[in-house]
Chain A
């Protein structure tokens, strides 16, 4: 009998514990976004940062320590989240009303549409605002309001294996799309199946990048001069048909529908791929390939990729939160700190003073996880390209539908199930609805 009573009690205790575990966490002194941080009277800031490399956490831990020492009234809580998880992590936190104060991610239009963001320009001094590279600052403008700050950038170039091209009789990187076809043919004739002439990624991973490379450099693009969607333009049709021609001619890697750019970058670094369009840091550090990064063929328009920092609304927030966030941005974009982070992660800066600094002094800073230093020549070359880069129209609310739509168009057309004009007309119609 005693045993039975004990068992029942234990069982009840177990149920009670489970219920307690399932209950809401209301810890009173918790650090709600931007609220007073418990008894300490500090302003707590929750920051989510995307993981750019294996050592991102280390850099931000050091930054947090330095920042808190300099700002005793601010409690900074930085969380590093991998790119694989960040969208679901942020969405989950939003749906449970626990959004961070500051978020580093790519794309902000959906958060603006749901009225979740504060205009970023409210947290930036005039001095810092003037310091951003103009094209980056404007790329975050939506209906006259800048909603996010550019955190870093990269741009895409045409990478050519100089030795392979020379052996195939091609002296210079192709400057037009016809020259690309000629170079591919020369490589194919010379090396047969041993070397893939042209790397192409129209996978769901980054097929929109391919769409941008070709359409922009055929004179088309996503929007017209008035900023309206112009997906079925004559130039875009020509560009998509050109992609199909590259595949049908046998010049590309055999699985462009599923090959992401990463195996292509590996193949280029290993010397088995002659040409591809990719990010400026795509060639492996230990690669022996003799390569050159050239302008994209055609219109020579490069794709700029720029991630952002944005500030979430907090109804309970006060001036102290605004001041804390402003201090955070001032500290992060301070020339030395920001230059250090850019070399550390291997990206390009979005501010003018850091661009100038790195073009001359990149050797002062080290690459994350290694003793290698930055290269001033590298930053000088690529920072000069940045102001002329074009960006995805992320500030448009329909961007995600368009992004997925153009990948579908590329895949359908290249598989031969539908013509380019018909597919793009359909997409234009669905987006313009």
Chain B
């Protein structure tokens, strides 16, 4: 009897540390952020009491919020989309046999392995109009006469931020896809070639279906990482000019730590959480459906 009870309890005891960690580090902060988003918070951090949905109404009345939301969608779609396509193509190339393949593979991982903040600072200096190395290089090879201001408008500034996002994201896709490609049995391609299949037919009928699980994982993870990415936008522009280049994460950081509006920041945080939870749910539904079908 004792043995049986111990055997029943044991798994739960093992799980308890993880559960406590998750509750204290994830669940309690989430509940706390939800509560703060419905509270009146003073600039000095004092919670003066609940104020219903006032923080949300204030946020929705701000044109900056809607522009930021639009930026966040563009940022996520462009960075994840382009990184996925570019990463996939590069993985196909790196899967071929050629001299120096190992070296190229090692080089490709650098942008991903380097800290985001370092990448962002480096790119900020590269594109600087007064002393940036891009201008110096282009001038030396004679492509430009005078220095060009690459970040003159909000659009161009945001475009460069997207580029940096792509630059640091594509290696992850490349290596996810590469691992998928290496697991494909070469005999499939040989059989297809014998049957007279073209490159595109092999790509769409063999390669893509077989690397789809790797692509799905990298895309879902990238959506979460890129959506929540803070260092690139904050280091390069801090949302300038005139809050035109914010994403939700930098916007809520500014609200909280620069503007001292903790309640509004919590509301934006909850909105971001809901959007990501929605995306994650779609992924869960699709993958569960896939499992059932298989």
A15-23, A174-182, A278-286, A331-339 - the one binding chain B:
A15-23
**Chain B interface mostly:** loop
How many residue pairs link A and B with beta carbons under 8 A? The number is 108
A274-324 contacts to B (CB < 8 Å): none
- Nearest A residue to B237 via CB reads A258
- State the CA gap A64–B258 with chains docked (Å): 32
Contact B242 A417 (CB under 8 A): yes
Interface size on B, residues (CB 8 A): 43
B18-50 contacts to A (CB < 8 Å): 20-21, 24, 42-47
- State the CA gap A97–B239 with chains docked (Å): 33
Report chain A residues within 8 Å CB of B44. Answer: 90-91, 94, 110-111, 113-114, 116
From B24, B43, B146, B244, give the contact of A400 (CB < 8 A): B43
Report chain A residues within 8 Å CB of B129. Answer: 254-255
Contact B242 A18 (CB under 8 A): no
A12 proximal to B (CB < 8 A): yes
- State the CA gap A83–B130 with chains docked (Å): 28
- State the CA gap A1–B20 with chains docked (Å): 26
B193 proximal to A (CB < 8 A): no
- State the CA gap A94–B47 with chains docked (Å): 10
- State the CA gap A111–B149 with chains docked (Å): 42
Report chain A residues within 8 Å CB of B254. Answer: 204
Contact B149 A255 (CB under 8 A): yes
Chain A's nearest CB lies how many Å from the CB of B21? 8
From A12, A88, A94, A412, give the contact of B46 (CB < 8 A): A94
Report chain B residues within 8 Å CB of A254. Answer: 128-130, 147, 149, 152
B16 proximal to A (CB < 8 A): yes
- A14 and B257 in contact, given A114-B42, A114-B44, A193-B147 (Cβ under 8 angstroms): no
Contact B240 A257 (CB under 8 A): yes
Chain A's nearest CB lies how many Å from the CB of B17? 6
Contact A19 B240 (CB under 8 A): no
B95 proximal to A (CB < 8 A): no
Report chain A residues within 8 Å CB of B13. Answer: 8, 11-12, 15
Chain B's nearest CB lies how many Å from the CB of A250? 10
From A11, A18, A204, give the contact of B240 (CB < 8 A): A204
Contact B16 A411 (CB under 8 A): no
- A18 and B10 in contact, given A258-B237, A400-B259, A411-B240 (Cβ under 8 angstroms): no
B174-190 contacts to A (CB < 8 Å): none
- State the CA gap A111–B16 with chains docked (Å): 42
Contact A204 B238 (CB under 8 A): yes
Contact A11 B17 (CB under 8 A): yes
Give me 19 A-to-B residue pairs in the complex whose CB atoms sit less than 8 angstroms apart, sorted by A's number. Answer: A8-B6, A8-B9, A11-B14, A12-B13, A22-B24, A87-B260, A94-B45, A114-B43, A114-B44, A116-B46, A254-B128, A254-B149, A255-B149, A257-B242, A258-B238, A401-B259, A408-B243, A415-B153, A415-B244
- A-B pairs, top 8 by smallest CB distance, nearest first, are A91-B45, A254-B129, A110-B43, A411-B242, A257-B241, A257-B240, A411-B241, A95-B45
